[in-house]
Amino acid sequence: MLQTLHIKNFALIEHLHIDFSAGLSTITGETGAGKSILLGALGLVLGRRADLTSLKDKGQKCIVEAHFNITQYNLKDFFIENDLDYEDATIIRREILPSGKSRAFVNDSPVNLQELQQLGDFLIDIHSQQQTRELTEEQYQIELLDAIAANNALLAEYKSQLSAYKKLQSEYKALQLQKESLVKEQDYNNYILQELLTANLKAGEQEEMEQQLEVLNNTGAIKEALARAAALASDENVGVLNNLKEIRQSIHKISGMSVEYNELYERLSSLIIEFDDIKDGIEESLETLSEDPEKLELINNKLQVIYQLQKKHSVQTIEELLEIQESLDSKVMLADEIDSQLSKLEKAFAEAELAATKTALALHNKRQKAIPILTDSITAILSQLGMPDARFDFKLAGADTFYGNGKDILELLFAANKGTGFGLLKKVASGGEMSRIMLAVKAVLAQYSNLPTIIFDEIDTGVSGEIANKMAGIMKEMSAKMQVFAITHLPQIAAKGDQHYKVEKTSNAETTVSELKLLTPNERVHEIAQMLSGKDFGDSALNHARALLN
């Protein structure tokens, strides 16, 4: 429930700090005194958007802070999901800076407007005559039946099943689209894959074949170079090897004279061994080198195939071609396996659909049982409110489509008088009738649901006398289970409050301000007397006011 409201620099309010109690609180005041300002301030802490026009003093920030006792609302999960600190005594603060920037806090943790709006839905229901249109909406009408039928657990189960069903449905449709795409591409993919498989590509072979091709294309020049090198290395007279041996022989004669000469001798010996090995390698290459036109043609053809494939697929290496080959192979395999996957998914999808359908049917059956309970309860209350012949007809029908709350379609038909036919509620009910119907609905819901604080904003417009007294009695009964505020112009309703607040507007030479104050018993008598007879009330009005209060 709302315990405290603190307002600073909002519209006509300079500074307001007021405490509230449980039960029924009535709020009165002359038209234009600022009752709508109070609701506007509450709207800010419930997540309504704000602008600079909300600031009384444009140079100072506006603050609206509300304290709530939320012990009975089972909101711990909401706080955990939104990473907020839970407190039984929760504080919501909204600030509007002179720059126009708005900030919101829940227990001093910053929150965005969406989170604030979601939390606000659990805390306060502000209801005015203009807001009765929600009663004409199918979603709200089904929610009424669900509240009477205690469908919370079943709805949670259905929503979980529906989520699973939609997920499988999405996966199934995506897989079908993938299959269609793969079928269209399968022939082409198979052709490209076979082309790559026929090429028999191996990683690293391109570089090796390019080297072989270079050798085979230059066999004559290579043979000539190798033959000359072999001759220079091994000629008996001028060959490099013989010369190196003679040099070594000369150094050998002096190698024993110093360490330096001995090192030279050993290095020459090593050089001769190495060079001799090089000479053998040259001679072996010369012996094995031969022209091979067939091999040349094979290598050349294979390389041309590789170059064509690289150009076709816009790549530079065989490794990239092999990656494409692997990808195509996977696509072809996937096309072959996708029917099996679709079959499994279709089975799971059908099972999920059946589960959601069964739960939707259970919801439908419980709603059907709740209809007479709801209609009897509402018509009984409306009879007290001057509508003894009001009748309702809830037409609940099953649908083929899954909705967020089941598979039901609902039409709420209404007839206000005897001898008149039923029509859609939104078309045949007047504004005054809608107000009384909504009050009846809220009164019934209070018996079945843990409703938040409710504020009735002049819901009594258009009624008077005994009907107003009955309205007040209904709100009084509701307040036994929840906190109820009634903003009213009727003394019968004002007198029913457990506490009575008055909104007043005062002016001086510089400014106009609105204030809200809790009336003392004596002030309350005078306020109700004024509501009965105007400002110039007499003893008769005072006695009438005391009678209403008693």
79 and 41 in one domain? yes
183 and 225 in one domain? yes
Indicate which CATH number applies to the domain containing 477: 3.40.50.300
Final residue before a domain boundary, out of 310, 337, 364? 337
**Nearest one of 396, 394, 398, 441 to 414, comparing CA atoms:** 394
Domain assignment present for 50 = yes
383 CB-near residues (< 8 Å, 6+ apart): 390
Least confident of 228-232, 237-241, 246-250, 512-516: 237-241
Apex 45 CA angle, 39 and 46, nearest 5:
80
265 CB-near residues (< 8 Å, 6+ apart): 248, 251, 252, 255
Structural domain of 249: 176-337
Q: Average pLDDT in the 76-94 region?
A: 93
302 and 244 in one domain? yes
404 and 269 in one domain? no
Q: 312-342, pLDDT tens digit by residue?
A: 888 888 888 888 878 777 766 666 678 788 8
- Host H or E run for residue 68: strand 62-69
Q: 337-355, pLDDT tens digit by residue?
A: 787 888 888 899 899 999 9
Domain assignment present for 101 = yes
406 and 321 in one domain? no
115 and 37 in one domain? yes
Q: 446-462, pLDDT tens digit by residue?
A: 888 777 899 998 887 77
429 and 307 in one domain? no
How many residues in total does the chain contain?
Answer: 550
Domain assignment present for 443 = yes
Domain assignment present for 343 = no
Domain assignment present for 293 = yes
121 and 210 in one domain? no
122 and 210 in one domain? no
> 268: pLDDT confidence band, cut at 50, 70 and 90?
confident
Q: Give 3-state DSSP helix, strand, coil % of the chain, rounded to 5.
A: 60, 20, 25
CB 96 within 8 A of CB 50: yes
- Tally of domains in the chain: 2
245 and 117 in one domain? no
216 and 101 in one domain? no
Domain assignment present for 441 = yes
pTM, whole model, 2 decimals? 0.68
